[in-house]
Amino acid sequence: MNPPAADGCYQLTRFASDFFAARDAGVPLENSVASIRAMAQSSGMSADGEQRLAKLAASVYATTVAAPEFRAGLFFHCVMPPARAR
């Protein structure tokens, strides 16, 4: 596990939770992406960060996995170091 990354990974899962809530409320993906863009511009987020959140939103809107399992998997893959190539 990568402990220093854990907080950032947790924050990422909170964004996913917000995207699930928006999707479940019937908010179109395009509106969520527009909100991401506005938030990114007002907070000084990098273009890469904005794109990553937009990609996460698209993944949430497309998934058939329940929110808790999706968030758990997202957190796990975020905090675990990549496997070494053999």
Q: Residue 4: which pLDDT band, with cuts at 50, 70 and 90?
A: confident
Tens of pLDDT, residue by residue over 26-76, are: 999 999 999 999 999 999 999 999 999 999 999 999 999 999 999 999 999
Burial pattern 49-84, b for ≥16 Cβ within 10 A else e, equals ebeebbebbeebbebeeebeebbeebbeebbeeeee
Write the pLDDT tens digit of every residue in 19-37: 999 999 999 999 999 999 9
- Looking at the predicted structure, is the pLDDT value of residue 2 above 90? no
pLDDT for 1 = 60
